[in-house]
Amino acid sequence: MAPWSGFWGGKAGGDAYRGTPVVVKMENPNWSISEISSPEDDDEDILAAGGRRKGGRTKNAKQIRWVLLLKAHRAAGCLASLASAAVALGGAARRRVAAGRTDAEAGVVAATGESPVVRSRFYAFIKAFLIVSLLLLAVEFAAYFNGWDLAESALALPVIGLESLYAAWLRFRATYVAPGVQFLTDACIVLFLIQSADRLIQCLGCFYIHIKRIKPKPNSPALPDAEDPDAGYYPMVLVQIPMCNEKEVYQQSIAAVCNLDWPKSNFLVQVLDDSDDTLTQTLIREEVAKWQQQGARIVYRHRVLRDGYKAGNLKSAMGCSYVKDYEFVAIFDADFQPNPDFLKRTVPHFKGNDELGLVQARWSFVNKDENLLTRLQYINLCFHFEVEQQVNGVFLNFFGFNGTAGVWRIKALEDSGGWMERTTVEDMDIAVRAHLHGWKFIFLNDVECQCELPESYEAYRKQQHRWHSGPMQLFRLCLPDIIKCKIAFWKKANLIFLFFLLRKLILPFYSFTLFCIILPMTMFVPEAELPDWVVCYIPALMSLLNILPSPKSFPFIIPYLLFENTMSVTKFNAMISGLFQLGSAYEWVVTKKSGRSSEGDLISLASKDLKHQKTGSAPNLDAVAKEQQLASKKEAKKKHNRIYKKELALSMLLLTAAARSLLSKQGIHFYFLLFQGISFLLVGLDLIGEQIE
């Protein structure tokens, strides 16, 4: 670019305003200057005396001006990027609103497992609260711009006009509204502190485990070659794969289980297919037949009466006559891919330990870096396994069974009453009943089983609704049994107050009530105070503790904090539905899978195919063609990103409270409400997670 002439470059053709020529190189499309060079730099850097070069180059006014111009261009480039991102966000929001597809549609309500009546009442409550906050905000703005800044002494004096109405509202607010809000605030703060203390104690327990290097060790030594069952401890193991309409993952899960390093004669694979789609049934049955031809001991089971969801499926499978020949049962959901040595690293813990009923492995995730939603889920589940499960396993010998990637002693299942269909969390149900019968559990933090995380917000929302409504159903059902059971008092207290009340009921209650209801209320009722440390410091500390098991996720600590508060509305709704038996609390919704496999799994399976010819077969092309033809004939229901009305209403509520906080100049409260409101807005417009074109 040639030097400028005129005002910045001096008079054309003249030397009076001649400055140092500057070459500006610009990069597209950010329009930012990346380099400034001058051909006369070398000449200007030589001193007059001695002709020696200075250690640092001198800069004249022209160079300083161009450096400032460079910074201005870079700032403009950043602003342009932010502007383009804002335009893209606005375009996505406009398309969501124009499409008009909300979570209030009948199909979505049925799929999420929420009652339309309960759903509408909850939304009506939030909407009414929003309308009241908008009215109060209008009143506060009118008072601010009209100068109605009434002191406490002036409230008792008679005033006239609209100012008198405002003074009456202030007196009513301080006398009748503020005490109730303050009481509710203090109660939630107490619950918040108790739950935070529990989480801190768990983290300290995990730190102690790492410092002392506490690790469950089997009584038997390492197993020798699995081809010789008589040379080591190889009991009879039944492997179950329950599935339902999961054609995306059935091949890889069956292949992984059939490749377990265990004597063929000592384990049997049950594929428990509850699919109601005929084509999916055919594909799974063909896959099982191919593995049978390759020598695997695998059977296919399909129920005619599909009652009880997963619990009913497992209960039906345990009723087979040949189950009595097996001592242990390993359970893997359809998207789980155990490593070949899974049984070798779990089953030996049972030897010589007759009180042991369950060995649970942790989960690892093949798609944890797929999008922001999966990254945030990864933080939560890392803390769950690394801290909660490990600490409870080491110090209490009890934790909630995760429903998969675990090995049960069949005698423990039978002694506890077997699988029951009374809740949507049959895994937690059997774990609690086994604990009440004196069975002990072991959690292996170093044994991993790969699986998938939900990649769309809709799928994650369905999963969380089931995970938080089921424990409340179970609490209602098993509370009398816990009280009557002849176990130690501290075990009863742990089950009732810590396992159920504190971690399953109080956590979603205070998270929603404190940060989504009380905090906005304190902005419109300033007489009730919510301390800064409750809004900022303690939540930040808890988020930091949550993220410690996954230190690489530290850059996502703020989005994690905001997203957890955003999910509180779904968890609170599910908790209330399960506790009071409202709506469709007993409906089971299968989490949608994408069928992802890690590259390491594919290489491992390929190498095994070359050595043993035992890997999963290629899909049947004829069956796939048939599937595509049938799909083209049917009216396919296209998936769309939707608008979630409760989240949008809460977004408007929090942003309204943020505007009110500006008038009282509450800095921390304003920023928290602003960013939390934006978080609710993004979730309400379904702009987090998988985006469907």
Residues assigned a catalytic role: 274, 427
Q: Where are the alpha helices (DSSP H) in 262-395?
A: 278-293, 309-318, 342-346, 372-383, 390-395
CB atoms within 10 A of CB 459: 21
Distance CA 444, CA 81 (A): 46
Q: Which residues contact 116 (CB under 8 A, 6 or more apart)?
A: 106, 109, 583
Residue 271 pairs with which residues in a beta bridge?
241, 300
CB 276 within 8 A of CB 245: yes
How many CB atoms sit inside 10 A of residue 201's CB?
A: 11
Beta-carbon count within 10 A of 312 CB? 20
Spatial distance between the Cα atoms of 34 and 77, rounded to a whole number of angstroms:
11
Nearest Cα neighbor of 392 from 435, 450, 354, 353 is 435
| Maximum C-alpha span of the chain | 105
Contact 33, 72 (CB under 8 A): no
Phi/psi zone of residue 635: left (φ > 0), alpha (ψ -120 to 50 degrees), beta? beta
Q: Determine how many CB atoms are found less than 10 A away from the CB of residue 493.
A: 12
DSSP one-letter string for 42-68:
HHHTB-SSTTPBPSS----HHHHHHHH
H or E segment at 571? helix 557-579
How far apart are the C-alpha atoms of 100 and 132, rounded to whole Å? 26
Alpha carbon separation from 203 to 388, 535, 566 (Å, rounded): 8, 22, 24
**How far is Cα 234 from Cα 496, in angstroms, rounded to an integer?**
38
Nearest to 234 by CA among 347, 330, 329: 347
How far is CA 14 from its chain centroid?
A: 68
Structural contact between residues 338 and 257, judged by C-beta atoms closer than 8 angstroms:
yes
- Residue 634 DSSP class: S
